[in-house]
Amino acid sequence: MQISVLADVKPLLGEGPLWDTEGERLWFIDSLGCRIFRCTSEGAEMRAWTVPSAIGSMCLRAGGGAIVALTDGFHALDLDSGEIQHIIDPEPDQPDNRLNDGKVDPKGRFLCGSMDTGEAVPTGTLWRLDTDMSLHALEKGIICSNGPCWSPDGQTLYFSDSFSGEISAFDYDVETGCVANRRTFAALPTERGGAPDGATVDGEGGIWSACVFDGRIFRFMPDGTVDRVIEMPVCKVTSVAFGGADLGTLYVTSMAEPPLPKYPGDGPLRGATFRIDGLGVTGRPEPRFAG
């Protein structure tokens, strides 16, 4: 196994790595710096887009362009012109919330949760944006939505309210996009003050979770047991995604500046995006939004 720096663009809050199997490019975001980045699997040909407010996550669209989850809701982004078009604000009555982590389900719908920007009050909701741009609430009472991802058969949704310290599992109806039977899948160790952040599922069904403020990445087996632990060069790892030509590289984002003063700082590699090679497992292609 080898850990190396892919890119060091110093995002305030690096998040949301996303490998595009069609374009063979890695996408990641600076949530608080309001930027989107794209580069090759080796970190070359870096390009950036600016969005008008904090961005929690993004997904690519089957017909071109992207959907971005901004402070005031979901927007369509034209990647050629940079033009932004507002779609819907799911929480106009929650001025202290913003949209956070999200991913596309096996049927091309975008699941994205919101969070309290003060990271203290359970005002967040897990939303499902359907391909007809209709919006549906799946789960409420969340402080900080993170890590949505699916088992290889699509029938289990993994999701974290980070400050619960746990990864939850739901039964997921792939045809309808509805959830049921929320339960604890796994609890992350808290002796370092960490919390589950972004996550992904590999081709064997292993769940990889970035433990933010802890500096470790955990691989859980489908039964919830820990299979592997990776120590990272920085504490504030935020999210993970498999990519590269064979989907065998694990990309890891981190934050340069913590959003609240109570969180610790990091060393000179703070905010870097890393790559981990030689893990012996491969990921799965991420679907595009079908709307």
What is the spatial distance between Cα 199 and Cα 209, in angstroms, rounded to a whole number? Answer: 4
What's the confidence (pLDDT) of residue 264?
A: 66
Is 98 part of any known ligand binding site? Answer: yes
- Per-residue model confidence (pLDDT) at position 192: 83
Contact 10, 267 (CB under 8 A): no
pTM assigned to the model: 0.96
Q: Is 214 annotated to bind ligand?
A: no
Residue 197 annotated among the catalytic residues of the structure = yes
CATH H superfamily, domain 2-19+103-277: TolB, C-terminal domain (2.120.10.30)
> Could you tell me how many residues make up the chain?
291
pLDDT tens across the length of the chain (291 residues)? 999 999 999 899 999 999 999 999 999 999 999 999 999 999 999 999 999 999 999 999 999 999 999 999 999 999 999 999 999 999 999 999 999 999 999 999 999 999 999 999 999 999 999 999 999 999 999 999 999 999 999 999 999 999 899 999 999 999 999 999 999 999 998 788 899 999 999 999 999 999 999 999 999 999 999 999 999 999 999 999 999 999 999 999 999 987 666 666 788 899 999 999 999 999 999 999 999
Burial degree of 167 (CB within 10 A; 0-12, 13-18, 19+): buried
Distance CA(131)–CA(141), nearest Å, equals 25
Give the integer Cα–Cα distance in Å for 282 and 265. Answer: 32
Query: Is 100 a known ligand-binding residue?
Result: yes
Which listed residue (197, 202, 214, 266) is catalytic? 197
